[in-house]
Amino acid sequence: MTTAAEGARLQLPALMQRVALTQESLIRAALAVAAALVCTAVLIALSGKDPVIAYLALFSGAFGSIDRVAFALNKATPYLLAGIGIALCFRAKIINIGGEGQIAIGGLGATWAALALPVAHPTAAIALALAAAMAGGALWAGVATIIHLSRRVHEVLVTLLLNFIALLIIGEALHGSLGEVGAGFPQSPLLPATAWLPKLWPRTPLHIGFAIAVVAAVGAYVLLWRTTFGFAIRVAGASRPAALYAGLSVPSITITVMLLAGALAGLAGGVEVLGVHYRLIEGFSYGFGFNAVAIALLGALQPLALIPAALFLGFLEAGALAMQRQVGVPSSLVAVIEGLTMLFILAAMASAERKPQ
């Protein structure tokens, strides 16, 4: 009979190895961020501005006041939620880039539920709207999965094409039954206040969405490393033949992980609508899905490491506007940093994967 201590000793090498691998991939991510920041610093210097002053302005813009921090955390929230689902998909080697569309449909679901199903009790109203958001996101991911599995179409193509259709559905809904009459801009009427997300920190914009996202990250960590299904995800991602040999059904793994990712992305859309805008606005989530992919890569597909990755992006975006105002360095620099970071990480991840372990 093995004692608990023996069991722990048996697990220790595996755990150490995992920690080492995680550290290695996180160091790679940090190096990629640093390289991107250096490249953009050179760009700033070439444009005749001092990169140190620009970065300091960015930093103080991001952390300067409680409101700024709250703003940045709100920014990070949808990226984190959607990024977790994408990381799970990528872990299983399912390249789901449909976050953009799933987030949008999630926002639509939350809006519809909040407007069409008035519930007096705030907790119930919020729960219902968020459930509708998750259902919407999962539905959109489900459509992609059905086409992918039944017609054997590459999942990247299906999820990519469905993104654009989803964004146009939002536009159509806002010009039709869901739109606010006479608003002059494609947006829904203001949602009933019972469905608004409560504040996490009173008198700041920070809503409870960030707490939900952190809980989701912890849940995904447990799922991935502590459950049989998480093991199945990792086996399917590491080697499809091994998964088949182990008697795992790759299609059912695909369906489950896609629906999960869709629900999380939908939740991201719902949280953005119920926590920030209190209404559905055309284009409210433009770029969120692609940023979520960036987060997933930046966090090396480790659910817990996604939290600092999302914070990095949130603070970067929050600080960029201040940098533009104070130093005159355009805020579009953020997209340059994001794009370069992603390219560096992709290259580093791929070359690490090729290295014999």
Report the C-alpha gap between 335 and 153 in whole angstroms.
31
Nearer to another protein, 199 or 234 (CB): 234
Nearer to another protein, 181 or 350 (CB): 350
Report the C-alpha gap between 88 and 224 in whole angstroms.
8
Residue 300 engages another protein in binding (rule: CB under 8 A): no
Q: Which amino acid is at 240?
A: R
31-60 positions binding another protein, by CB under 8 A? 43-44, 47-49
Q: What is the largest CA-CA distance in the chain?
A: 74
User: Pattern 92-131, binding to another protein, x per CB under 8 A?
Assistant: ---x-x----------------------------------
Taking the complex as a whole, the smallest distance from the CB of residue 169 to another protein amounts, in Å, to 7
State both tokens at 341. 């970071």
Instruction: Name, in order, each residue with C-beta under 8 angstroms of 142's C-beta and a sequence gap of 6 or more.
Output: 255, 258, 259, 262
Nearer to another protein, 101 or 269 (CB): 101
Residue 147 engages another protein in binding (rule: CB under 8 A): yes
Taking the complex as a whole, the smallest distance from the CB of residue 55 to another protein amounts, in Å, to 15
Nearer to another protein, 128 or 342 (CB): 342
State both tokens at 261. 């990712």
Binding range to another protein, per CB under 8 A, among 57-65, 193-201, 255-263, 334-342? 334-342
Sign of CA dihedral 240, 245, 251, 252: negative
Nearer to another protein, 275 or 314 (CB): 314
Among 175, 211, 238, 246, binds another protein (CB under 8 A): 175
Among 21, 131, 157, 223, binds another protein (CB under 8 A): 157
- Per-residue CA distances from 78 to 95, 133, 143, 158 (Å): 19, 12, 22, 22
Give me the residues paired with residue 199 across strands: 207
Residue 343 engages another protein in binding (rule: CB under 8 A): yes
Report the C-alpha gap between 344 and 298 in whole angstroms.
10
Instruction: Name, in order, each residue with C-beta under 8 angstroms of 186's C-beta and a sequence gap of 6 or more.
Output: 171, 174, 175, 179, 281, 282
Residue 161 engages another protein in binding (rule: CB under 8 A): yes
Residue 267's nearest CA partner among 99, 122, 145, 146 is 99
Number of H helices, E strands in the chain: 13, 0
Residues in the chain: 357
Residue 185 engages another protein in binding (rule: CB under 8 A): no
Residue 340 engages another protein in binding (rule: CB under 8 A): yes
Residue 80 engages another protein in binding (rule: CB under 8 A): no
Taking the complex as a whole, the smallest distance from the CB of residue 5 to another protein amounts, in Å, to 42
Nearer to another protein, 152 or 203 (CB): 152
Contact 283, 123 (CB under 8 A): no
Contact 267, 210 (CB under 8 A): no
State both tokens at 120. 């007096």
Report the C-alpha gap between 59 and 69 in whole angstroms.
11
198-217 positions binding another protein, by CB under 8 A? none
Among 224, 232, 300, 334, binds another protein (CB under 8 A): 334
Taking the complex as a whole, the smallest distance from the CB of residue 301 to another protein amounts, in Å, to 12
Residue count at the site for another protein (CB under 8 A)? 52
Q: Where are the beta strands (DSSP E) in the chain?
A: none
Residue 171 engages another protein in binding (rule: CB under 8 A): yes
Residue 160 engages another protein in binding (rule: CB under 8 A): yes
Residues that bind another protein (CB under 8 A): 43-44, 47-49, 95, 97, 147, 151-154, 156-158, 160-162, 164-165, 168-169, 171-172, 175-176, 287, 290, 293-294, 297, 328-330, 332-340, 342-343, 346-351, 354
